[in-house]
Amino acid sequence: MKANKKKPKKEGEKMTSKKSEKLIDKKGIRLDGRKVDELRPVKMEVGVLPNADGSAYLEQGRNKILVGVYGPKEAHPRHIAQQDRAVIQCRYHMAPFSVDERKSPAPSRRDIELSKVIREALEPAVFLEYYPRTSIQVYIEILQADGGTRCAGITTAALALADAGIPMRDLVVACAAGKAGGKIALDLMDTEDKVGEADVPVAFMPNLNAVTLLQMDGNLSVDEFNTAVDMAIGGCKKLYEIQKEALKSKYVSEGVKEE
C-alpha cells in the first residue's frame, strides 16, 4: 500500500538547514529525496482499535496518526444535541511525545482551531441529518508529527468513519501543497513546512469534486496558489486510491472474499 518505494532519509535525522533555498536542489530533488510532485510513503490500515466503532491508522512520512470513531450515540452533554441532525465532536490532539520538545497535553489554540476545521472538513461527507439528537465522536491522536498532520488526520478520520458504518456521501481525503525552496511542492514535511514560503492544506471529496478544507499561510501569488491547489488535489486523488485499498483490504482480512 505504499504510494512510492523511495525511502525517506534515515529516521530521526535532524534537518538543520534553515534556508528555504536549500530545500530543493538544482535537480529538483528535496531534502528527503522526493521530487516536487511526489508524496511521502503512505501506509493506511482500517479497523485497528477493538473498542472503537470505527478506527484507522496512517503513516505518511514520519507522521503516525491514529483515529477512533464512536457513535452515533446520545449526545453528551445534552445541550450540544441538535434537533435536526447529528453533531460531530472532533478532537485533534497531539501526544506529548509527538514532537521534539515535549508538548503539553492540554489543548493549545492551534489544537482548538484544527479540531474545528477538521470537523468542518468531515461534516459535508456525513449524512448527519439521518441521526438527530445524536453525536459522532472523532478522536484524532497524533502519535508522531512530521508536517501535514491536519491533512493526514482528515484522511485517517474519513477511513475510521467509513469503518464505523456511518453513512457517507463520499470519502474525504486531504493533502497539502506549498512553496519550498522557491518551488511549488506536494505534501510538505516538517522542515519544508517550517522553513518554506507557504503551505496550502486541502481536503477533497473525490467523487463529488468538493473542497471541504482550504487554508493557507505564507506568501503566494494568485497563479502560484492555483498551481498549489491543483497539485494538492492531485495528491488527494493518489491518496484516495490508497484509502480505497485500505478499506477493501479490511473486508478481505475479515475472512470475506469476493466470489
Partner 1 sequence: MTSTIVVNVKKKRITELLAGGKRTDGRGVNDYREIQIESGVIERAEGSARVRLGKTEIIVGVKIGTGTPFPDTPDTGVLTVNAELVPLASPSFEPGPPGEDAVELARVVDRGIRESKAIDLEKLCVESGKLVFVVFVDVYVLNHDGNLIDASAMAALAALVNTKMFKYTVEEGEIVKKPGYTPLPMLDYPIAVTFAKIGNKLILDTGLDEEQVMDARLTITMNKDGNICAIQKGGGSGYFTREEISEATKIAVEKTAELRKVVVKS
Partner 2 sequence: MPLFYEKKQLVIPGDLLAEGDYVSGDSTYKTDGKIYACRLGLVDYDGKRVHVVALKAFYIPVPGDLVIGNVVETTPGGWVIDIKAPHLARLRASDVVERSFKPETTDLPSIFDVGDLIIAKVVAYDRTRDPQLSVREPGLGKIMRGQLVEVTPTKIPRIIGRQGSMVGMIKRETGCQLTIGQNGLVLISGRSAEDERVAIMALRKIERESHTSGLTDKVTEMIRKERKAVESK
Positions in the binding site for partner 1 (CB under 8 A):
82-84, 109-110, 112-113, 115-117, 120, 123-124, 128, 198, 200, 205, 208-222, 225-226, 229-230, 233
214 binds, among partner 1, partner 2, none (CB under 5 to 8 A by kind): partner 1
Q: Which does 134 bind (CB under 5 to 8 A by kind): partner 1, partner 2, none?
A: partner 2
Residue in 21, 25, 74, 230 binding partner 2, rule: CB under 8 A: 74
| Residue 100 interacting with partner 2 (CB under 8 A) | no
Beta strands in 4-122 (DSSP E): 42-46, 54-60, 63-74, 87-94
128 binds, options partner 2, partner 1, none, Cβ within 5 to 8 A by partner type: partner 1
Task: Give the contacts of 92 (CB within 8 A, at least 6 positions apart).
Answer: 111, 114, 115, 118, 140, 142, 149, 150, 153
Nearest by Cα to 253 from 5, 4, 48, 71: 48
- Residue number with CB closer to partner 1 (48 or 211): 211
CA–CA dist 161, 177 (Å, integer)? 25
Q: Which of 68, 72, 201, 235 binds partner 2 (CB under 8 A)?
A: 72
For 20, which DSSP code?
G
Kindly tell me which of 118 and 164 has the beta carbon lying closer to partner 2.
Answer: 164
Q: From CA 97, how far away is CA 233, in angstroms rounded?
A: 31
Question: Are 165 and 205 in contact, with CB atoms under 8 Å apart?
Answer: no
Query: Whose grid coordinates read 456525513?
Result: 126
What does the alpha-carbon distance between residue 213 and residue 65 come to, in Å, rounded to a whole number? 19
- 110 binding partner (options partner 1, partner 2, none; Cβ < 5 to 8 Å by kind): partner 1
Give me the residues that bind partner 2 (CB under 8 A), please: 53-54, 71-74, 83, 86, 125, 127, 131-134, 162-165, 167-171, 205-208, 244, 247-248, 250-251, 254-256, 258-259
